[in-house]
Amino acid sequence: MYLLWYLGLWGPFCKKAFPHIMARLAVCYNEKMAAKKKELFSNLKDFAGPSGVLTLLEIGAGSGANFEFYPAGCRLICNDNNDNFSKFLEKSLSQNRHLQLEHHVIAPAEDLSQIPNASVDVVVGTLVLCSVESSERVLKEVLRVLRPQSLDSNGSGDLSSLV
């Protein structure tokens, strides 16, 4: 391990291996957390925009472990910094045909510049804020991409109402 790190190979190895590990762990994690996730995501449809269609951005989407809990007809924008998750994400999408992938953004969650201002109804991030460089910058990006009505229906519209 130290030799790989010294040679500069540890980071690339982890970037390739991590998606494989997480795809396997997600199955076990979802089995244990299914009831809680169903409860937490049960009101997502309430945040749908004026068209009645829900546009959801998931930061750190990884292998798509949350997809089965999203409502039918949901327009999905996925973000992950690691493009090695792509094949796992595609597999999850094929198993969750009730979702429509709008865009897959390969970028750090601190830079969602590919997503327009005020363009999403809901942002989901599970197990991701602990692995970003700046959670404050991520939350600022979340506020930028959320529709103002999403913020208003959540309470005061400040950062504390989102956490």
* Residue 51 pLDDT > 80: yes
User: Which DSSP string corresponds to 96-160?
Assistant: -TTSEEEEEEES-TT--TTS-TT-BSEEE-SS-GGGSS-HHHHHHHHHHHB-HHHHHTTSS-SGG
Q: What is this structure's pTM? A: 0.86
Alpha-carbon distances, residue 12 vs 48, 57, 109, 159 (angstroms): 39, 27, 19, 34
Per-residue pLDDT at 160? 39
Average pLDDT, the chain: 89
Region of residue 111 (phi > 0: left; psi between -120 and 50: alpha; otherwise: beta): beta
Q: H or E segment at 35?
A: helix 10-41
- Of 83, 121, 85, give the one whose Cα is nearest residue 102: 121
Per-residue pLDDT at 54? 97
The predicted model gives 129-141 an average pLDDT of: 93
The predicted model gives 103-130 an average pLDDT of: 95
The predicted model gives 135-154 an average pLDDT of: 85
Residue 2 — pLDDT band, cuts 50, 70, 90? low
* Residue 47 pLDDT > 50: yes
CB–CB of 162/142 below 8 Å? Answer: yes
% of the chain exceeding 90 in pLDDT: 69
